[in-house]
């Protein structure tokens, strides 16, 4: 019961969303909103764990900013503004015209949104693959969940730019073997943008952290805030990459932009509440392999995003794979915890 306090805001917004949804389309809309919220939570559960790993070491000021400003960007930016922006670019029309298309011709809006599918999967897949690989290839990683996989990866991580090279090879493999023509060019360009974006944000964060460590006194707070800015940007792009799959998958359930925004928004709020709970209760320290499970799920999601450029993968499969890794990591962590407590 104590954990429910972290979800009070999410339940309140759910109630407000249910009222709005019912006014839009009655009980059918309520059902669709429920399905979309569950879809978002299942696809982004591992995102909550990864966010918590970053937030626990983040400057307190920037942590608060991410949990306030970041949620506005995640809910309103990625679930409402982002789809409209995509359609605006694809159809070469103004954002207002794209919104009118969403209201007056949902089927055309869906078609335009799905036409950007390959570009979004290329960017999100490349970015998330780098996130996952950097965790397992890091020389600072000294705790392993699956030794047979994770220990050999540490040797690969000794090579400079190992994660980037593996990601580039993955992008080239998909583009060269499974895509051609305009789709191939679109995927290569978006994959390259994902790699460049991750690298740029990672370098900014590293630079800020280095400057923070090299300074002291009254300037320390300013430097810490700048370091927080780098991690803030990292988390926002990470959230965006996770949301691509959910936003596009939502159109297979309904073409109503407002129902999609309400359903995915509710799901995003529950994910954010879960993130806060994980940080406040030090859950990651208590369950040692939960973090590992989340990064395995991220790599799995990145691979699925690549596969979706040429083959259909149901969203339920994507969600179950991510939840499966988290569940196995939790169970193993619980078993190890109980074993240690008995000794």
CA distance linking residue 24 with residue 32, whole number of Å: 12
Residue 221: the pLDDT is 43
User: Distance between CA atoms of 298 and 325, rounded to whole angstroms?
Assistant: 10
Exposure string for 295-318, b = 16+ CB within 10 A, e = fewer:
bbbbbbbbbbbbbbbeeeeebeeb
What pLDDT is attached to residue 150? Answer: 92
Instruction: Give the burial class of 91: count Cβ atoms within 10 A of its Cβ; 0-12 exposed, 13-18 middle, 19 or more buried.
Output: middle
Quote the longest CA-to-CA distance of the chain: 66
Total domains present in the chain = 1
pLDDT computed for residue 160 by the predictor: 85
Q: pLDDT at position 222, please?
A: 44
Retrieve residue 88's tokens.
Answer: 């605006």
pLDDT in tens, 41-76: 877 778 888 888 888 877 778 888 887 887 778 777
| pLDDT for res 105 | 85
pLDDT digits (tens, 9 = 90+) for 223-263: 444 456 777 888 888 888 877 777 777 876 787 888 888 88
Dist CA 250 CA 253 (whole Å) = 5
- Domain range holding 47? 2-342
Q: Which stretches in the chain have pLDDT values below 70? A: 1-2, 205, 208-228, 252, 338-343
Tokens matching residue 148: 């047979």
**Lookup: tokens for 181:** 């023509």
Look at residue 215 in the predicted model and tell me its pLDDT: 58
């Amino acid at each position: 019961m104590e954990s429910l306090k972290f979800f009070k805001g999410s339940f309140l917004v759910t109630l407000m969303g249910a009222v709005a949804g019912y006014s839009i389309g009655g009980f059918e809309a309520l059902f669709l909103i429920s399905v979309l919220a569950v879809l978002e939570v299942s696809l982004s559960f591992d995102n909550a764990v990864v966010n918590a790993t970053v937030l626990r070491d983040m400057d307190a000021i920037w942590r608060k900013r991410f949990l306030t400003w970041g949620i506005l960007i995640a809910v309103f930016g990625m679930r409402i503004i982002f789809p409209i922006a995509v359609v605006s670019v694809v159809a070469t029309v103004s954002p207002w015209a794209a919104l009118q298309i969403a209201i007056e011709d949902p089927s055309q809006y869906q078609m335009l949104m799905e036409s950007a599918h390959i570009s979004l999967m290329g960017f999100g897949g490349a970015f998330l693959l780098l996130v996952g690989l950097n965790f397992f290839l890091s020389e600072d990683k000294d705790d392993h969940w699956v030794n047979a996989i994770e220990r050999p990866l540490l040797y690969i991580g000794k090579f400079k730019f190992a994660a980037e090279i593996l990601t580039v090879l993955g992008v080239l493999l998909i583009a060269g073997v499974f895509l051609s023509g305009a789709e191939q060019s679109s995927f290569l360009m978006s994959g390259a943008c994902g790699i460049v974006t991750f690298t740029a944000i990672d370098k900014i964060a590293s630079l800020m952290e280095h400057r923070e460590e090299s300074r002291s006194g009254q300037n320390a707070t300013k430097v810490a805030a700048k370091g927080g800015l780098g991690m803030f940007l990292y988390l926002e792009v990470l959230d965006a990459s996770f949301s691509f799959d959910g936003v596009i998958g939502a159109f297979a359930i309904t073409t109503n932009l407002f129902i999609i925004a309400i359903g995915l928004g509710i799901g995003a709020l529950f994910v954010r509440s879960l993130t806060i709970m994980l940080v406040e209760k030090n859950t990651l320290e208590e369950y040692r392999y939960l973090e590992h499970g989340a990064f395995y799920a991220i790599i799995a999601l990145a691979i699925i995003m690549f596969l979706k450029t040429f083959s259909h993968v149901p969203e339920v499969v994507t969600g179950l794979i991510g939840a499966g890794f988290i569940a196995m990591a939790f169970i193993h962590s619980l078993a190890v915890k109980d074993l240690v407590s008995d000794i």
